[in-house]
Amino acid sequence: MKKTNTKLLAVLMTLALLISAVCFMTAAADPTSAALGYSASRIVKKDTTGIPDIKDYTNNNTAKEFVVSDITGLETIAFYVNDGTTTFEGVTFYQTADIQPSEAKSFGGIGKNATVIFAGTYDGQGYVINNLTVSAGEPCGIFKTTCGTLRNIVIGENVVVNGPKSKTGGLVGEVRTAGTTVIDNCYVAATVTSAAALNGGIVGQADYEATKSENAKLEIKNCTFAGSLVSKNGRCGGLLGRAAAIALEIDNCVNAGSVSTGTADAPAQVAEIANAETGDIKKVSAAGGFVGETTKGADKILIKNSVNIGNITSGYSAAAFIGSLPANAGATVQNCTNYGTVTNKTASGTGVKVGETDVLMKYHSTLAGYIFNTGAVLTIGEDSKDLKGQTAPTFEKVTMPEVTTPEETTPEETTTEEATTPEETTTEEVTTAKKDTETTKAPAETDDKTTTDKGGCGSIVSGSVALIVSIACGAMMIVRKKED
């Protein structure tokens, strides 16, 4: 009987160890599950061997995948979209190197409007787009208009997006979609300025496509805005300026950038808007840490698991989460926190009128801004709090690569024989040189990927298995000695 109990105890100990190890390995298998906002560890880089470069689109115009390796690649995408040749729907682009010209370069943006639009998928693979200036037209952004999917894109701190009109964003000027557009795991550190309204650190405005669709939706998830946004008019937000006639879901995002409108730095073109309930005229220049303004109901607008760390300032309506909720609109905000400083420089007589029946509107001065309704227009989850003044959680910050300046060649070092005129360099030679360069870089990328795959989780699993086996063997040896 004693031997049986001892054996049973050993078996139970071994099972307990196995169960604990399985739980540990399951948690370790996804080290990014708790990462706030953008995280490079979410990225699984594509083996781009054999995938054509977009610069050779003419010879590969039926391909469904392309690589983008430099600024000329971005310009090539813009060229074929903007002249109406294609929207690249069903096509995926993989960025394979940092796109960072040695000198600041002007870039016109990809797309034009609701029909001349980028509809493909762009995977930045964690490489940086930096040292660009975008200041052309309305909308204004690296992607002026898109209904596609953007993921793993890093916009550097030397990117300046200066919109002469409205709908300006650090990554996207305007989303125009009939279905679901997804922006996932992107990091934007750009400086965004605009002379008008509807501006965001990541997206300026989101709206339905050319034809109104009830299925139109924008999802922004795992994203970080770490730049600055200054708008001369209202309705601006750290992540999104305005959600127009479209559903919106924001999940696991962080705004660490400053948002400012209607101040001395950005004197607002303040609009006078009538309160639908009372007829009162109030002045609005709304700024929000997440969204400047929404127009849909609470069942269409969901913001969850996100944090505002940035400072939000407005001449009339500043809020950590949503700057303005117009008449008959609302939002659902769940498990969100604010650590930033929210400043409303409201003029006398233009304060916010909030009804007594609003749900948890004791936070309205910092979390939800200008409210026109006197009903329950905002639902804030129990975990949503204003934690101003407390230590904010950490988030992943991207270190930008140094801008390399090409070495200058003196006349004495360059001979007439060495000099090559543009006419002497053929397209075929350039393509060959490009392929040679990619071939040279390939082993390094493969080695890096192998290290990533075999490190971290792999070593944790191997070590855990070894530990389990060792403990199990030790337990069995103890049992045998006792039996002997």
Alpha-carbon distances of 401 from 19, 74, 103, 133, 337, rounded to whole Å: 44, 19, 14, 18, 31
How confident is residue 211, by pLDDT bands cut at 50, 70 and 90? low
**Range from 1-5, 178-182, 305-309, 401-405 carrying the lowest mean pLDDT:** 1-5
Longest alpha-carbon distance in the chain:
98
- Among the listed residues 139, 128, 58, the one whose alpha carbon sits nearest the alpha carbon of residue 100: 128
Rounded mean pLDDT of 405-432? 44
Please check whether residues 225 and 354 belong to one and the same domain: yes
Residue 465 has pLDDT above 50, yes or no: no
Residue 431 belongs to some domain of the structure: no
Residue 416 has pLDDT above 80, yes or no: no
- The pair of structure tokens assigned to 89 is 């729907």
Q: Residues 89-111: pLDDT tens digits? A: 999 999 999 999 988 999 999 99
Better-scored residue on pLDDT, 436 or 213: 213
**Range from 9-23, 328-342, 450-464 carrying the lowest mean pLDDT:** 450-464
Please check whether residues 479 and 347 belong to one and the same domain: no
Q: What pLDDT sits at residue 436?
A: 41
Bridge-based pairing state of the strands 105-106 and 132-134: parallel
Rounded mean pLDDT of 291-304? 81
Please check whether residues 226 and 133 belong to one and the same domain: yes
Please check whether residues 11 and 88 belong to one and the same domain: no
**Range from 63-72, 95-104, 203-212 carrying the lowest mean pLDDT:** 203-212
Q: What pLDDT sits at residue 116?
A: 94
- Structural domain total, the chain: 2
- Half-sphere exposure of 287 toward its Cβ, with a 13 Å CA cutoff? 34
Residue 419 belongs to some domain of the structure: no
Residue 223 has pLDDT above 90, yes or no: yes
Please check whether residues 234 and 142 belong to one and the same domain: yes
Please check whether residues 13 and 79 belong to one and the same domain: no
Q: Residues 126-169: pLDDT tens digits? A: 999 999 999 988 999 999 999 999 999 999 999 999 998 889 99
Please check whether residues 18 and 78 belong to one and the same domain: no
Let me know how long the chain is. 484
Q: What pLDDT sits at residue 268?
A: 45
Bridge-based pairing state of the strands 271-274 and 281-284: antiparallel
**Range from 85-94, 177-186, 403-412 carrying the lowest mean pLDDT:** 403-412
Please check whether residues 18 and 68 belong to one and the same domain: no
- Across the chain, what does the average pLDDT equal? 73
Q: Which residues, in sequence order, are CB contacts of 245 under 8 Å at separation 6+?
A: 207, 208, 212, 216, 295, 296
Which range has highest mean pLDDT (288-302, 313-327, 413-427, 450-464)? 288-302
Q: What pLDDT sits at residue 336?
A: 84
Tokens 């083996």 appear where?
47
Residue 439 belongs to some domain of the structure: no
Q: What pLDDT sits at residue 294?
A: 82
Q: Are 371 and 358 in contact (CB under 8 A)?
A: yes
- The pair of structure tokens assigned to 47 is 């083996």
Give the C-alpha separation, 123 to 165, whole Å: 28
**Range from 124-138, 331-345, 382-396, 400-414 carrying the lowest mean pLDDT:** 400-414
Q: What pLDDT sits at residue 387?
A: 63
Q: Are 406 and 423 in contact (CB under 8 A)?
A: no
8-state DSSP, 276: T
Residue 417 belongs to some domain of the structure: no
DSSP string, 134-175: E--SSSBSSEEEE-SEEES-EE-TT-EEEESSS-EESSEEEE
Residue 191 has pLDDT above 80, yes or no: yes
Residue 19 belongs to some domain of the structure: yes
Our measurement of the distance from residue 334's CA atom to the centroid of its chain's CA atoms, rounded to an integer in Å, reads 19
Give the C-alpha separation, 100 to 104, whole Å: 8
- Helix H or strand E encompassing 368: strand 368-371
Residue 420 belongs to some domain of the structure: no
The boundaries of the domain holding residue 478 are 2-26+457-483
Please check whether residues 18 and 99 belong to one and the same domain: no
Residue 272 has pLDDT above 60, yes or no: no
Task: Tell me which of 343, 361, 386 is where a domain ends.
Answer: 386
Q: Are 121 and 92 in contact (CB under 8 A)?
A: yes
Please check whether residues 246 and 370 belong to one and the same domain: yes
Please check whether residues 120 and 15 belong to one and the same domain: no
Task: Tell me which of 386, 414, 445 is where a domain ends.
Answer: 386
Please check whether residues 20 and 84 belong to one and the same domain: no
Task: Tell me which of 355, 386, 417 is where a domain ends.
Answer: 386
**Range from 15-19, 226-230, 429-433 carrying the lowest mean pLDDT:** 429-433
Give the C-alpha separation, 100 to 184, whole Å: 22
- Among the listed residues 12, 50, 58, 395, the one whose alpha carbon sits nearest the alpha carbon of residue 225: 395
Q: What is the CATH number of the domain that holds 255?
A: 2.160.20.110
Residue 80 belongs to some domain of the structure: yes
Q: Are 177 and 208 in contact (CB under 8 A)?
A: yes
- Helix H or strand E encompassing 302: strand 301-304
Rounded mean pLDDT of 255-265? 78
Residue 473 belongs to some domain of the structure: yes
